[in-house]
């Protein structure tokens, strides 16, 4: 369990990105952070990861403050940002390598992470030889390899074509069901948030606040995208935005 306690962030430039965000996130939740561009979603994620210090408030981990230890956070960015000179396996190895885990000891973990994203056959391929979707899978494997307690994803599928995006969304859902990881997933797509998450934090335009906290329970399986629950959820979220967006 971790908690965001009246978290605020004002950048040196004077921009107030977040203004008193409160939320508690329980282990195993799949939380979507949904909001318009510039509302501070990325900022919130960076605060969670300890990459940026809050101006006020704090992120409490199981009640105590302090940055998470190296490797406890898995981060997936909008671009895959792989090392272009390294193979898929070497890219996945990176987080362990940085923490001085020997290659031999890491090998089974690397293999497992690549298997989780269905890329076992491409272990030796460099980014040049992978499609956009495959690169993103490698990026996800890289985030999973250190078995993080929290997986943070910042619009990871926004740059992919729709077919690939749907496929990766389904894969991510399967991965979540299998591993029970706690995931915070940033998106500015209402449909993506509704489809993936079991909880949706709707953020107001800048300065970002939590404007609504919605629970979701969609049916599993192939009919999820066409289910009545999904449509109803999209409608609920849309109604939220109609209230908070300036006209």
Please, what is the minimum distance in Å from the beta carbon of residue 128 to other proteins?
A: 5
Tell me if 49 contacts other proteins by CB under 8 A.
yes
Tell me if 37 contacts ligand ATP by CB under 6 A.
yes
* Residue 3: both structure tokens together: 């908690």
Residues 217 to 246 in contact with ligand ATP, rule: CB under 6 A: none
Give the number of C-alpha atoms closer than 13 A to the C-alpha of residue 129, restricted to the C-beta side: 11
Nearer to other proteins, 93 or 176 (CB): 93
> Among residues 3, 20, 23, 42, which is the contact residue for ligand ATP, using CB under 6 A?
42
Nearer to ligand ATP, 73 or 145 (CB): 73
Whole-angstrom CA distances from 238 to 35, 60, 162, 228, 245 are 11, 31, 21, 15, 10
> Among residues 2, 34, 43, 211, which is the contact residue for ligand ATP, using CB under 6 A?
43
Tell me if 42 contacts Mg ion by CB under 5 A.
yes
Question: From ligand ATP, Mg ion, other proteins, none, which one binds at residue 84 (CB under 5 to 8 Å depending on kind)?
Answer: other proteins
Tell me if 120 contacts other proteins by CB under 8 A.
no
CA nearest to 109, candidates 152, 151, 146, 71: 146
Q: How wide is the angle at C-alpha 182 spanned by C-alphas 180 and 188, nearest 5°?
A: 120
- Alpha-carbon span 78 to 101, nearest angstrom: 27
- Alpha-carbon span 65 to 155, nearest angstrom: 27
Tell me if 51 contacts ligand ATP by CB under 6 A.
no
- Alpha-carbon span 9 to 207, nearest angstrom: 9
Residues that bind other proteins (CB under 8 A): 46, 49-51, 69-71, 73, 75, 77, 79, 81, 83-85, 94-95, 97-99, 125-126, 128-130, 142, 146
């Amino acid at each position: 369990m971790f908690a965001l306690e009246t978290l605020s962030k004002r950048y040196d430039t004077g921009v107030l990105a977040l203004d008193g965000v409160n939320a508690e996130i329980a282990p195993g939740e799949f939380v979507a952070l949904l909001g318009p561009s510039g509302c501070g979603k990325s900022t919130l994620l960076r605060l969670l990861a300890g990459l940026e210090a809050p101006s006020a408030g704090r992120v409490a981990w199981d009640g105590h403050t302090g940055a998470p230890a190296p490797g406890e956070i898995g981060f997936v960015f909008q671009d895959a940002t792989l090392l272009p000179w390294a193979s898929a396996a070497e890219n996945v190895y990176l987080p362990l390598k940085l923490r001085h885990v020997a290659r031999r000891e890491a090998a089974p973990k690397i293999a497992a992470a690549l298997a989780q994203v269905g890329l076992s056959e491409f272990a030796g391929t460099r980014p040049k030889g992978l499609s956009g979707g495959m690169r993103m899978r490698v990026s996800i494997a890289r985030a999973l390899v250190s078995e993080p307690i929290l997986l943070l994803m910042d619009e990871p599928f926004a740059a992919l074509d729709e077919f690939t995006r749907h496929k990766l969304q389904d894969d991510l859902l399967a991965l979540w069901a299998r591993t029970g990881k706690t995931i915070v997933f940033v998106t500015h797509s209402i449909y993506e948030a509704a489809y993936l998450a079991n909880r949706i934090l709707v953020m107001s335009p800048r300065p970002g606040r939590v404007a609504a906290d919605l629970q979701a329970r969609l049916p599993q399986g192939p009919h999820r995208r066409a289910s009545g629950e999904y449509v109803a959820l999209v409608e609920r979220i849309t109604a939220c935005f109609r209230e908070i967006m300036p006209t």
